[in-house]
A and B are shown apart, each in its own frame.
Chain A
Amino acid sequence: MKHPYVGLDDHQFWKRSPGIIDKSDLDPVTGTPFKISSIDKIVTAGSCFAQHVARFMSNSGFNHYITEKAHPAIIPEVSQRHNYGMFSARYGNIYTARQLKQLLLRAYGEFEPLVAAWPGRGAGTVVDPFRPQIAPGGFTSKRELISDRNHHFSCIRKSIEDMDVFVFTLGLTEGWADTRDGSIFPLAPGVAGGVYDPELVAFSNFDEVETYNDLKYSLEFIRRVNPKVRIILTVSPVPLNATYVDRHVLVSTAWSKAVLRIAAEKAVAYFDNSAYFPSYEIITSPHVRGAYYASDGREVLEDGVQHVMRLFMKHYTDVEIHVSPSSPAQLANDKHTQGMQEAVDILCDEAAIDNVEQQVRSNKGCGERPRRVIAEKLPDRSSWWERILGRRK
């Protein structure tokens, strides 16, 4: 009997998916519109899951384009703790499409929020309300924060203008907005700095229309600056940590992911040279029977990340790129500081050796001369040392 489904590809039928028998065979990616080479500059942004994507890019031969680096004198583990190298610039997690839009506007000087700094947890410290966890310990002053932020914005502009591929992972729909100017915060005031004042901040839960409009605005903004950029959108499979809506967090998670998925689909349909990559589907699929979530039912395990990124490579690259575990990006070592360290090591070794030699000389009765030199150099003749010398005489 003839019907519209006859002759369709296997991937359009659930029961024909090889992933049903072996989860590692699950491959829901079809029809990629472009490829990524190992020299293409890739900029990543988005929510928690985007960190996995970014780490993978950094560690697998892709050109994860990092514009905001810590000074090379800072040791890598400290840089990483301060969120350098996590994403292309130090913007931290961008959970909502509104946040992405706002970040672009701020980086290009088209919007300046009323609030520039929140009080931090440490005495006298401040945090950036728009990336409150970016600097452990906060900033020492508003002025220091603004200096760092201005540099941050310049790095964002460089990322946007130079990138070949933009990978954005949509994560959340819930956020907190300043009631005075609509500035959206990634975390509610009070969670990681700031003070919660219900008069100054209001809860927002962006629906599919708002999310799509914000996403469309952002991508149009980016394309105006960089018309040739290729765009890949994904949705984070990480469930909400908490919801402010009075319902079960699982229900809010489903609503939120549905909104994000629709917005992504509509954006890909609207923008040429763009693609949706089904990270969300791979991790949450019934094929994998929850095996890619940790015991808390929320954190995505390394196996899941590897599955996602293996398919990403399979479909978006033509070159052999080595997959390595998603450890943080290793930043460049600083030859000058290493050289200075080695020089000081030698100097300090010499000081110790010299002293041994001096002790030997001293034992041979050659120890008096330096003491006289010291006596001449002492600025305060009434010091203890002079008394010591006086008794010697």
Chain B
Amino acid sequence: MQRNILVVGHSHTECLREPAASLAKHGINVNILNIRQFERPKHRKAAVLPFITRAVAEPPDAVCLCLVGNRHNILGLIEHPQPFSIGDDAIGSVPDGNSDRWFIPYNLMRDDFLAHHEPARKLTHQIYNKFKHAKRIVLNPPPPISDWEHLKKYPGVFRDKIMLGPGPNELRLKLYRIQTSVFKEIADENDADFIDLSGEVATEDGFLKDCYFNTDPTHGNSAYGAVAMNHILEQLGYAL
């Protein structure tokens, strides 16, 4: 029996392509739509749902969303020129009296993440509404990469910023966890299963294991995608 999985998201879906391609022979058709591929700058403000609808030939049995997901890197990958810290001692990095880092209350930062993810929240709702009978999954983007040498090796678009140095690991994890809480909230609102791979793909410190690094500073590679795809199939109960 042919089963159709629709994966919609942005660049963090790319890691799923290779493992997905290998599933066709098992009767599992995974259709991956990276919104970036049709959300070109001139279309960036346009509604993307019609593009998605046109790109889906068969009604999917499951819809897995992995939208946006790099806000934590935007804020924390490179040290901000005005360094900041978040949260209290139990959950983050409240500065001591001598710290010159700019303290940002946790809820202020979380509200900032919520505001930034509002378009993703709306799109999630639209997509799940469009495919009402499909099982729902939200895939959390990968944990941050803490290896500064990796970033220096593959600086890419960050080349002109690496002189600022890395954001502190504690802060980067805090930002990732805030982002994760926002995606979990979006998943819960839509009765979607939330897949967070941190327990499997992260080091004890909470960062992405090096075997899952893509050749850029923020994305997981196809091995990471394989782990993610495995979880998606398990969640859907699809045996190979």
Contact = CB atoms under 8 A, between A and B. Distances in A.
Contact of A352 (B22, B34, B94): B34
Contact of B95 (A147, A336, A358): A147
Interface in A113-170: 135-141, 143-144, 147-148, 150-151
B19 to A, nearest CB: 6
A30 interface: no
Overall SS of chain A's interface: helix
B219 interface: yes
Contact of B211 (A78, A378, A384): A378
A376 to B, nearest CB: 9
Contacts of A150: 97
A77 interface: yes
A148 B14 CA distance: 41
A385 B223 contact: yes
- Interface band, chain A: 35 or more
A352 B37 contact: yes
A347 B36 CA distance: 11
A388 B221 contact: no
A141 B94 CA distance: 11
Interface string A323-344: 0000000000000110111011
Contact of B70 (A77, A348, A374, A384): A348
A348 B68 CA distance: 9
Given A78-B111, A151-B103, A355 B14 contact: yes
B46 interface: no
Interface in A49-101: 70-75, 77-79, 81-82
Interface string B1-21: 000000000110010011101
B108 A135 contact: yes
A74 B74 CA distance: 12
Interface string B62-86: 0000000010011101101110100
B112 interface: yes
Contacts of A136: 107, 111
22 contacts: A71-B82, A74-B109, A137-B107, A137-B111, A139-B105, A140-B90, A140-B105, A144-B94, A147-B88, A336-B80, A340-B73, A343-B161, A347-B216, A348-B10, A351-B11, A351-B216, A374-B226, A377-B212, A377-B223, A378-B223, A384-B230, A385-B223
Interface of A: 70-75, 77-79, 81-82, 135-141, 143-144, 147-148, 150-151, 336-337, 339-341, 343-344, 346-352, 354-356, 358-359, 362, 367, 370-371, 374, 377-379, 383-385, 387-388, 392
Interface of B: 10-11, 14, 17-19, 21-23, 34, 36-37, 70, 73-75, 77-78, 80-82, 84, 87-91, 94-95, 97, 102-112, 115-116, 156-158, 161, 209, 211-212, 216, 218-219, 221-223, 226-227, 229-230, 233, 240
